[in-house]
Amino acid sequence: MAGPDQAARATLRRFVNGFQISQAIHVAATLGIADLLADGARPIDELARETETDPEALYRLLRALAAADVFSEEEGRRFALTELGEGLRSDAPGSLAGWAAYIAGPASWQAWGALLHSVRTGENAFRHVHGADAWSWRTERPAESAIFDRAMMTTTRTMNRALVDSYDFGRFGTVVDVGGGNGALLAALLAAYPTLRGVLFDLPHVVAGADDVLRGAGVADRCRVVEGSFFDGGIPEGGDAYVLKAIVHDWEDPESLAILRACRGAMADGAVLLLIERVLGPPNEDLVTKLIDLNMLVHPGGRERTLEEYDSLLEVGGFELVGATSTPAGISVIEAAPSA
């Protein structure tokens, strides 16, 4: 049997060695190299002094990333940002700096190292490695929680813009964001729709910084913050739309159904449920979402789903699927109504 041709072999090798570039970008993001190069090229000695790193080791890191077009190596061992590397600046629109600092950090790195365990057993890799689920583990480690929150914030900004541009939230009077974090999504929605009112619902330590986010967007007077857990009940009543953004995919079916039923219990018959999630594509397509699905297996223990799987889950949870609206950010707004 003939072996793979050289192009196929090179592609496979690039996939096999992909962890190397991921880790190198993680280190550069953690050190804030892109921010240091925001005003132009700088010599390696300056960069090493400001990042408190070994000049020779840092040079070896940056020249490798320059070969990957993340940075550009100039004469005299100076480095500058490329268009690709601009995405690692903390102030760049759609910045990936926070995500890069998180996803290849030690806790995540070790969990991904246990992917084989998950595939063999079906068990969550993070819990296997760290002895606790990802949520509990981060709650006890504020520094790790801050890294995770920064990663979520950077990805949220791009998604929020896509949601506002793709779906008409203005047809609702009050939106209840269930598990809405620090209120970034609600702030974006309220800013886009001046007549809209919001209710933010999440755990006490999660919503602790919500007032600053809402005030910063100038919408605090139109948003109420309620502390609680969707597993313990207490989801606020009276909303016209109940939003679960990137919540259901964090959980397997039993927990997801508990969340859906808790929402159904708070909703009037005329209210709408909006799941904001990625939708798995057909076989042999949609690599991004299918890798995210593996990340769910490794980290929180949830899963991505097809639209048909969401339809089935919603039906058991007391809802009827109305439709799904895709966005340029790769996420969809899955709309459902309470079933009779």
| Distance in angstroms (rounded) separating the CA atoms of residues 58 and 53 | 7
pTM: 0.89
DSSP string, 157-172: HHHHHHHHHHS-GGG-
Asked if 260 and 203 count as a contact pair (C-beta separation under 8 A), the reply is no
- Rounded to 10 deg, the angle between the 184-192 and 142-166 helix axes is 30
Asked if 82 and 69 count as a contact pair (C-beta separation under 8 A), the reply is yes
Give pLDDT, residue 154: 74
How do beta strands 71-74 and 78-81 pair? Answer: antiparallel
How do beta strands 174-178 and 197-202 pair? Answer: parallel
Domains 6-89 and 163-338 share a fold: no
Place of tokens 């506002």: 164
Question: Hey, how many other C-beta atoms are within 10 angstroms of the C-beta on 285?
Answer: 9
In this structure, CATH architecture of domain 6-89: Orthogonal Bundle (1.10)
For the record, the structure tokens of 124 come out as: 């969550």
| Distance in angstroms (rounded) separating the CA atoms of residues 254 and 8 | 42
For the record, the structure tokens of 103 come out as: 């996803």
Give pLDDT, residue 3: 59
**Domain boundaries defined on the chain:** 6-89, 163-338
Among 87, 55, 57, which residue's Cα sits nearest to residue 69? 87
Q: Which residues are catalytic?
A: 249
Among 100, 91, 95, 107, which residue's Cα sits nearest to residue 143? 107
The one-letter code for the residue type at 252 is E
Give pLDDT, residue 174: 98
Instruction: Report phi then psi at 75, rounded to 5.
Output: -60, 145
109's CB contacts (< 8 A; 6+ apart) are 23
CATH 3.30.428.10 applies to domain 163-338: no
Instruction: Report phi then psi at 36, rounded to 5.
Output: -70, -20
Give pLDDT, residue 101: 93
Asked if 138 and 148 count as a contact pair (C-beta separation under 8 A), the reply is yes
Asked if 311 and 337 count as a contact pair (C-beta separation under 8 A), the reply is no
| Distance in angstroms (rounded) separating the CA atoms of residues 220 and 10 | 54
Asked if 88 and 69 count as a contact pair (C-beta separation under 8 A), the reply is no
Tell me the torsion sign for CA atoms 205, 265, 310, 166.
negative
Taking every pair of Cα atoms in the chain, the longest distance, rounded to a whole number of angstroms, is 72
For the record, the structure tokens of 244 come out as: 């679960």
Burial status of residue 160 (CB atoms within 10 A of its CB: 0-12, 13-18, 19 or more) = buried
| Distance in angstroms (rounded) separating the CA atoms of residues 339 and 230 | 20
Instruction: Report phi then psi at 191, rounded to 5.
Output: -70, -35
For each of the chain's 340 residues, which pLDDT tens digit applies? 555 688 999 999 999 999 999 999 999 999 999 999 999 999 999 999 999 999 999 999 999 999 999 999 999 999 999 999 999 999 988 889 999 999 999 999 999 999 999 999 999 999 999 999 998 999 899 899 888 888 887 778 778 889 999 999 999 999 999 999 889 999 999 999 999 999 999 999 889 889 999 999 999 999 999 999 999 888 999 999 999 999 999 999 999 999 999 999 999 999 999 999 999 999 999 999 999 999 999 998 899 999 999 999 999 999 999 999 999 999 999 999 999 7
Give pLDDT, residue 93: 83
